[in-house]
Structure 1
């Protein structure tokens, strides 16, 4: 019933819009032509993006006439005189947006199947068909028909825009199949040859589908692989607008509704107890007014239409409120269900990206039953006070944020975002009552360099030359690529802190020597960009893994991982940082993605609770080496720990080794004495050096009373 009401509302709105257009005929009209993916029945999951495009345009300045028709190809749209109908009302200053390609694939002939077919490519070739009534039809290529639309539109003084066809729900090896070698390529070629604007709708949407994954995308296609429901059509309409935003010279760009970055949307959480900056675009030199939580601020957009408003610091609030922005002579933007709390940025590579929904079979499931139960418990006890901004993967040198905006923890998109971020947020929110927003911006396989802006490297005396070295060129990674597309568009927003889980790809190039400096640069740069020199940053030490089995890009031995652990631990000397250890969270040493993400989120939460939320008695770190003392043939180690030492299995501590002046390490016998470890090896009479967990497979049993594992270390290096 609700669906029928919605359809009726859309139809009613369409008639009202047509009536308004008739009264106000001085507005230009955007004519849209195409097939069923552009306009459909709006019932039974059949929605076209053209039906929703008016939501993103300024209806006071432009009308929309969606003339697309289901089942039509470029050829039949002309043959059935549908194009003539558009031309009869098309006038100077109007726009024609076209998207075809789904119905052109059959061989052109006089059969039912061949009725819609065209010749492939953008050629001037043609074939003549004789129909049963004796009439002759000349059939041309796909590109020829597109160029006819373009030329006819330009002859009327209208502005043509060609869109490549939206992708079907067809995945291969985890990627959606694209049309960049056929109809997408031909559409672009036709646009270039005939002088039209081009929106690569196929690639823009395919990038989104790839980031979402086949499970999420399947929900957009309830009936078949081609036709979307309303949610899918809205994604496609957003892709059209994204493409137009990349065409600032196209006059239609000026009719895009005044807007905000996607990092501002309904369901978002605004950072508490700090000034909050909100910005966007509006008509040039026009006033913009923002109203939220008893604050009302007005500014004037500059000559480019850019504006920025700063809200005064606010207390945390679990009350859902609307944030309303008015632009002079424009409709208002209303963002609903806004909370005030703490916002944490989660970034890094695949272990931070690791999905919350264990049903997505991208990674192995945890073997320990209690962890499966923990995940199920979290799945059924979701909080409306936890919100997520999921940033999709996009590698570009240009600032563009690929996201659909904020969602709350009950939304299905929660199934496809960072598990670590969610479990961190869940624990913080449960223990403090403060709403928690998580910005999930990660990309599997990335090194640290692309998350740091170019200028930061250029301003670093110690690192500005390192990015040109041979290691840096492995895999063609460049500084700033992820930052530009997945971080920069959210600036200058306000956040509480940052969670970081990354390093596997830097270990692959033996980058333990410079990684501490790069991580320090990352921390200092983000603190500068988020205007908080004391912003907390908590990070994860990567887990045991058989790196020595890898030969690409560089060969490894069993000590490269502990050397990298040491490099990561070196950053503990920075202010307001904390590190969690994961040596105990691996089931399969051959899998670089340990599955116990709820525990990683818990350990990160312990860091934040103890340091940022007033839980001073919380034990937040495992035992860390502090000092050593040689006593005859023994070495006595002292540890920095807030709780007594113990082992997880009740046995003596393992993974300790000793060496003398010759540097030959042997396994040591270890015993616990309070917060100290006593080491001895029968063959080492005068020990001088210690190693703990100094092997890529090390999963030591030494923990504190809180169950947090000891940090790997070595002495004498």
Structure 2
């Protein structure tokens, strides 16, 4: 992990605001940005104290006015058209500031810890599948990148060291492999510009991404004294430094990939996700935007024993707690040697399926795999049925793996599992009368049960032991 570099305030201001005019803007509102199409897009910044500010949008030549407060702050919204560009926005409080190369399209935020932060060029000795192919095709004028650098603060910040960038092999190589590929595939499918905002920090807990209001009621995570040295896993510090400065910039939706560092308090993870998303939506002020997230992948963790299944369940429960949300399953796309699985393409595709089907209304696009429904016992056979299997089940001609069965003694044994119609029949010679079935319910257990549409079943158990 690279050493954290905290910028002095003066340097941050240099990067965050255009200093050539009295009108100053946050980094997220700058040349090359993408504004959400057909929305009331928020703009804000500073101007001369008490000045009357005029803003002209080139796509319709409409003039907006705002009165700067005593401290120079101002805020307003502009109406955006259907996708297109490039356009200009002119700001004037007596001195002009012109932003150009602005596109109108779809804007998404991607956030979380290292599996979201993992860049297209990979980590040391940890590759990204197809990375060189991705980089050879990186120059796409319809995709723009905004990468928030790592930072942390105990108080909410408004400045950033970041800028909107065009895609090329260098900028894409440093960007989130999940986020970029999602944006590129979305741009290809919708044929409109896409802006993707990355705000991710490896090795972090969800509590650090929550604001104080979202954290209310949390009892299993302590806030350190202000006199202690700041660390990235304090509550609020990443929200303050990496989310607050961009909150309010209109987005279509958010992508989330985090949870490895919450294995130790996994039972409350769903409630924290619910609280965090509720507050993000409230602060952004652009509606109940979709929130799509990735369930953790299997891995052999050296510091724990089968803690991941608990967070599997928390992540699955979060879908019923968070309106307009959806979970990508990755039980078939993990790694036994690294916490950072190399196949980020399949994860980006599965996030894309949720977005296309649920956000953009693309008919016929499947987005969910088989979901455990019920267990029926017939003699020595445990028969498992599922929802979300309109055309049935498959393991692509391979034997099903990672099924276990237990009797009344609550001892689980490896089991054979066979697809039978739209059910899976599970049995073991060691269990004469089954009571419970588990599937991929260990840290390291991979899964290979899919619906015919090609989407995997999430790990599950039929018991509550």
Change (3 A) 1:543 1:363: farther
Compare relative contact order (CA 8 Å, sep 6+) and give the higher one, 1 or 2.
2
Partner of residue 686 from structure 1, selected from 433, 438, 444: 433
**Offset of 1:416 from its aligned partner?**
0.8
2:279 aligned with 1:520: no
Cα 1:469/1:301, change in 2 over 3 Å: closer
Q: Do 1:425 and 1:437's aligned partners in 2 also have CA atoms closer than 8 Å? A: yes
- Alpha-carbon distance in 1 for matches of 2:316, 2:134: 33
Q: Match of 2:48, SS?
A: coil
**Aligned equivalent of 1:575:** 323
Q: What residue is the counterpart of 1:436 in the other structure?
A: 194
Structure 2 residue corresponding to 1:645, chosen from 390, 393, 397: 393
The answer to whether 1:320 aligns with 2:86 is yes
Check conservation: 1:322, 1:338, Cα contact below 8 A. yes
Q: Which residue of 2 aligns with 1:415?
A: 173
Q: TM-score by structure 1 length?
A: 0.60
Is 1:376 the counterpart of 2:140? The answer is no
- The whole-number CA distance in structure 1 between the counterparts of 2:112 and 2:332 is 21
- Indicate the residue corresponding to 2:311 in structure 1: 564
1:281 matched residue in structure 2: 46
* CA deviations over 1:566-612 (Å, ceiling 9, x no partner): 111111213211111122223x4231111111221111001101101
Report matched runs for 1:264-413 at 5 Å.
Answer: 264-292=29-57, 293-294=59-60, 295-312=62-79, 314-327=80-93, 329-330=94-95, 332-358=96-122, 361-362=123-124, 364-366=126-128, 371-372=129-130, 376-377=133-134, 379-380=136-137, 382-398=139-155, 399-410=157-168, 412-413=170-171
CA distance in 1, matches of 2:113, 2:456: 23
Match of residue 359 from structure 2: 612
Q: Per-residue deviation at 1:356? A: 1.9
User: Does the CA contact (< 8 Å) of 1:606 and 1:619 recur in 2?
Assistant: yes
Aligned counterpart in structure 1 of residue 27 of structure 2, from 262, 286, 296:
262
Select the structure of larger CA radius of gyration.
1
Deviation at 1:256?
A: 7.5
What CA distance in whole angstroms lies between the structure 2 residues aligned with 1:454 and 1:319?
A: 39
TM-score, normalized by length of structure 2?
0.91
On the 8 A contact 1:396/1:482 being kept in 2, the answer is: yes
Q: Does 1:485 align with 2:252?
A: no
CA RMSD in angstroms, aligned pairs only? 2.7
Deviations 1:38-96 (A, max 9, x none): xxxxxxxxxxxxxxxxxxxxxxxxxxxxxxxxxxxxxxxxxxxxxxxxxxxxxxxxxxx
Evaluate the alpha carbon distance shift between residue 594 and residue 512 of structure 1 in structure 2; reply closer, same or farther with a 3 A threshold: same
Matched-pair contact (CA < 8 Å) for 1:646–1:702: yes
What is the distance in 1 between the residues matched to 2:267 and 2:167?
Answer: 40
**2:50 and 2:72 in contact (8 A); partners too:** yes
In structure 2, relative to structure 1, the CA distance for the partners of 1:467 and 1:697 (3 Å cut) is closer
Aligned pair partner of 1:468 in 202, 210, 222: 222
State whether residues 151 and 238 of structure 2, in contact with CA within 8 Å, keep that contact through their aligned partners in structure 1.
Answer: yes
In structure 1, C-alpha distance between the alignment counterparts of 2:176 and 2:232, rounded to whole Å: 26
Q: Give the conservation status (yes or no) of the 8 Å contact 2:121–2:127.
A: no
- Structure 1 residues 423 and 363, CA, compared in 2 at 3 Å: closer, same or farther? farther
Deviation at 1:382, TM superposition (A): 3.5
Residues 401, 487 of structure 1: 8 Å contact kept: no
What is the alpha-carbon distance in structure 2 between the residues aligned to residue 242 and residue 337 of structure 1? 21
Matching residue of 1:56? none
Which sections of structure 1, spanning at least 5 residues, go unmatched?
1-172, 179-202, 208-237, 246-253, 551-555
Question: CA contact under 8 A between 2:33 and 2:164: conserved in structure 1?
Answer: yes
2:332 & 2:15 partners in 1: Cα distance?
47
Q: C-alpha separation between the residues in 2 aligned to 1:677 and 1:484?
A: 48
How many angstroms apart in 2 are the aligned matches of 1:299 and 1:244? 21
Looking at structure 2, the residues matched to 618 and 333 of structure 1 have their Cα atoms a distance apart, in angstroms, of 44
SS of residue paired to 2:270: helix
Paired residue secondary structure (2:266): coil
CA distance in 2, matches of 1:527, 1:512: 23
Correspondence 1:629-644 to 2 at 5 A = 629-641=376-388, 642-644=390-392
Distance 1:444 1:610 in 2: 30
Distance 2:405 2:332 in 1: 22
> Secondary structure of 1:517's match?
helix
* Structure 1 residue 278: Cα displacement: 0.1
1:174-220, CA deviations, whole angstroms, 9 ceiling, x for partnerless residues? 449x9xxxxxxxxxxxxxxxxxxxxxxxx627x9xxxxxxxxxxxxx
Which of 218, 235, 239 is matched with 2:11 structurally? 239
User: Does the Cα contact within 8 Å between 1:499 and 1:538 map onto a contact in 2?
Assistant: yes
Is contact 2:16-2:161 (8 Å) kept? no
| Correspondence for 1:12 | none
1:445 and 2:445 correspond: no
Contact 1:636 1:679 in 2 (8 A): yes
What is the number of residues matched between the two proteins?
Answer: 455
Residues 1:263 and 1:243: Cα distance change in structure 2 (over 3 Å): closer
Deviations 1:73-120 (A, max 9, x none): xxxxxxxxxxxxxxxxxxxxxxxxxxxxxxxxxxxxxxxxxxxxxxxx
Find the partner of 1:708 among 440, 455, 461.
455
Aligned partners of 1:389 and 1:403 also within 8 Å: no
Distance 2:314 2:158 in 1: 33
Contact 1:657–1:690 (Cα < 8 Å) also in 2: yes
Matches within 5 A, 1:178-217: 204=7
User: By how many angstroms is 1:631 displaced?
Assistant: 2.0
Q: Distance in 2 between matches of 1:570 and 1:388?
A: 32
Question: In structure 2, what is the Cα distance between the partners aligned to 1:612 and 1:240?
Answer: 36
8 Å CA contact retained: 2:223, 2:234: no
User: Hey, which of these two has a bigger chunk of helix by percent?
Assistant: 1
* Distance verdict in 2 for CA 1:715–1:335, change over 3 Å: same
